[in-house]
């Protein structure tokens, strides 16, 4: 077999396995793209036709991806139940097959997929309509947590020359930046406690909807997901690029509608916590 023919077969099989739709649609797409049919490539063996043998490959591919989705979104799976989760996860991997060789990227678009495919809330009562927003929001939190686990943290940063003191907050030379692993979320539900209960194997009741600000970071290889106040959220956003502390305080005070002096005083207490959770690090 020549290198060219082997490459053709590899691309044909990849199309059959990863193309959207059922097996017939996959085979038609592969025939259009590569000029080969199932019978041209796959022999009948052990009583299985070429299509049946290919069905084993395509079905196994989806099931393997489904296992990864289950592992990436355990809280969501526990909330909606296995049948509902599997139905949406299968639809996701079939209609939006992964384009990356890394399975880490597989679930990146799942929260958006759930948002775009959720039922029309106008067909339900107000309470049920609100709950339709919860699965996409929960998926967003779980995806953010997965990204924090993978992203670069502060574990390899050199230790600071001296610990941050309360008085340093009132100095003029302190510059801060968000850690590379920090993820910030504006949510429609307070999901931090819900997620922690789910992690413990509990089955918490869905929380009542309200706006919630969430920060996720990592320190000493441990992921922290915490709800933060509006000014803390605005402060962290202001530090997405290196920023002098007072500049971040001004931005947070303006965004949260608080007095600058009050935010500065509260920052003096909160900043050591933000450092310990892996949300921020010192630049200078």
Residue 8's pLDDT is what? Answer: 85
* The pLDDT of residue 162: 64
Q: What is the biggest distance separating any 2 CA atoms in the chain, rounded to whole angstroms?
A: 79
**What pLDDT digit, counting tens, does each position of 122-138 carry?**
677 766 777 789 999 99
Comparison of pLDDT for 263 and 52, the residue scoring more: 263
User: Is residue 235's pLDDT more than 80?
Assistant: yes
Residue 270, pLDDT above cutoff 90:
yes
Mean per-residue pLDDT of the chain: 87
Judged by average pLDDT, the poorest of 139-153, 162-176, 246-260 is: 162-176
* 160-176: average pLDDT: 67
Predicted pLDDT at 11: 82
Q: Which ranges of the chain would DSSP assign to H, the alpha helix? A: 3-18, 23-34, 38-41, 50-72, 74-80, 82-95, 110-117, 126-131, 134-150, 192-199, 230-238, 245-256, 260-276
pLDDT at 168: 61
**pLDDT tens per residue across span 6-39:** 888 888 888 777 777 778 888 888 888 888 887 8
Architecture in CATH for domain 153-282: Alpha-Beta Complex (3.90)
Percent of the chain clearing pLDDT 70 (strictly above): 92
Task: Give the Cβ contact number of residue 241 at 10 Å.
Answer: 8
CA distance 228 to 266: 13
pTM: 0.83
Q: Which residue has the higher pLDDT, 109 or 48?
A: 109
Taking the alpha carbons at both ends of the chain, their separation in whole angstroms is 62
Residue 215 is predicted with a pLDDT of 98
pLDDT at 198: 94
What is the reported pLDDT for 52? Answer: 80
Phi, psi of 175, deg, nearest 5: -115, 135
More confident: 252 or 132? 252
- pLDDT score of 1: 46
Looking at per-residue pLDDT, the higher value among 170 and 47 belongs to 47
Position with higher pLDDT, 7 vs 221? 221
**Token reading at 82:** 């296995």
Contacts of 207 (CB under 8 A, 6+ apart): 189, 190, 191, 193, 194
| Domain residue extents for the chain | 3-123, 153-282
Average pLDDT over residues 238-251: 94
């Amino acid at each position: 077999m020549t290198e060219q023919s082997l490459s053709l077969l590899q691309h044909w099989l990849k199309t059959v396995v990863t193309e959207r739709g059922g097996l017939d649609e996959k085979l038609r797409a592969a025939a259009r793209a590569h000029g080969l049919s199932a019978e041209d490539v796959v022999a009948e063996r052990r009583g299985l036709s070429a299509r049946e043998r290919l069905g084993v490959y395509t079905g196994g591919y989806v099931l393997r991806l489904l296992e990864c989705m289950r592992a990436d979104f355990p809280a969501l799976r526990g909330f909606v139940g296995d049948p509902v989760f599997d139905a949406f996860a299968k639809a996701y991997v079939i209609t939006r097959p992964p384009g990356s060789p890394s399975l880490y990227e597989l679930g990146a678009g799942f929260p958006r997929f759930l948002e775009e495919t959720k039922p029309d809330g106008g067909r339900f009562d107000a309470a049920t309509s609100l709950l339709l927003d919860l699965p996409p929001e929960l998926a967003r939190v779980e995806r953010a947590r997965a990204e924090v686990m993978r992203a670069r943290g502060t574990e390899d940063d050199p230790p600071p020359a001296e610990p941050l003191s309360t008085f340093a907050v009132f100095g003029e030379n302190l510059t801060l930046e968000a850690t590379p692993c920090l993820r910030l979320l504006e949510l429609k539900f307070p999901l931090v406690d819900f997620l922690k209960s789910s992690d413990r194997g509990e089955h918490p009741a869905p929380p009542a909807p309200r706006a919630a600000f969430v920060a996720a970071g990592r320190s000493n290889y441990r992921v922290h997901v915490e709800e933060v106040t509006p000014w803390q959220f605005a402060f962290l956003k202001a530090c997405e690029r290196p920023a002098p502390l007072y500049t971040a305080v001004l931005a947070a005070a303006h965004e949260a509608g608080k007095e600058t002096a009050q935010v500065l005083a509260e920052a003096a207490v909160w900043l050591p916590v933000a450092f310990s959770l892996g949300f921020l690090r010192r630049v200078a």
